Amino acid sequence: MRKLMVVLLIAATTAACQKEAQVQTASLQVSAVVIEPATKTVTAEDMTVFIDGENFHAEYSYGMIPSLISVPVDKDIPYVVSAENVTVEEAESLPDIWGMKRYAGSYEVLVDRFMQKDENGKNIPLTYPVTVHCAVANSMISVVFDSTVLTYYSQPVVTAYTDEDRILEFTPSNASEAVAHFTSGKPVYFEFSGIFNVSGEIISHSGNIEVEPATSYTLTFRMQNTQGSLQQPAITVDKYCEDIYETMTVDPSDDGRFEK
Position 180 in a domain: yes
pTM attached to this predicted model:
0.80
Whether residues 97 and 149 fall in one domain: no
Whether residues 91 and 126 fall in one domain: yes
Whether residues 55 and 119 fall in one domain: yes
Is the pLDDT confidence value at 123 over 50? yes
Whether residues 89 and 131 fall in one domain: yes
Position 205 in a domain: yes
Rounded distance between C-alpha atoms, residue 158 and residue 169, angstroms: 6
Is the pLDDT confidence value at 257 over 80? no
> Please, which pLDDT band fits residue 208 given cuts at 50, 70 and 90?
confident
Among the three residues 77, 106, 136, which one is the final residue of a domain in this structure?
Answer: 136
> Please, which pLDDT band fits residue 256 given cuts at 50, 70 and 90?
low
86-109 per-position pLDDT tens digit = 999 999 999 999 999 999 999 999
Rounded distance between C-alpha atoms, residue 205 and residue 208, angstroms: 11
Position 17 in a domain: no
Please, which contacts does 198-204 make with residues 24 or more away whose CB atoms are closer than 8 Å? 198/152, 198/252, 199/252, 201/252, 203/153, 203/250, 203/252, 204/256
Whether residues 158 and 123 fall in one domain: no
Whether residues 86 and 183 fall in one domain: no
Among the three residues 93, 121, 136, which one is the final residue of a domain in this structure?
Answer: 136
Whether residues 117 and 103 fall in one domain: yes
- Looking at residue 211, which CATH number applies to its domain? 2.60.40
Among the three residues 103, 136, 169, which one is the final residue of a domain in this structure?
Answer: 136
User: What is the full DSSP assignment across 154-167?
Assistant: EEEEEEEE-SSS-E
pLDDT at 243: 72
18-59 per-position pLDDT tens digit = 444 578 999 999 999 999 988 889 999 999 999 999 999 999
Position 3 in a domain: no
Rounded distance between C-alpha atoms, residue 160 and residue 162, angstroms: 7
Position 193 in a domain: yes
CA-atom Rg of the chain in angstroms: 29
62: containing domain: 23-136
Pick the residue with more confidence: 253 or 174?
Answer: 174
Q: In the predicted model, what is the mean pLDDT of residues 72-87?
A: 97
Whether residues 95 and 174 fall in one domain: no
Is the pLDDT confidence value at 230 over 60? no
Position 260 in a domain: no
Position 39 in a domain: yes
Position 7 in a domain: no
Whether residues 62 and 115 fall in one domain: yes
pLDDT at 2: 43
**Residue 172 identity:** P
Whether residues 71 and 169 fall in one domain: no
If one counts the domains in the chain, the total is: 2
> Please, which pLDDT band fits residue 235 given cuts at 50, 70 and 90?
very low
Q: Which H or E run contains 63?
A: none
Whether residues 41 and 131 fall in one domain: yes
Whether residues 108 and 152 fall in one domain: no
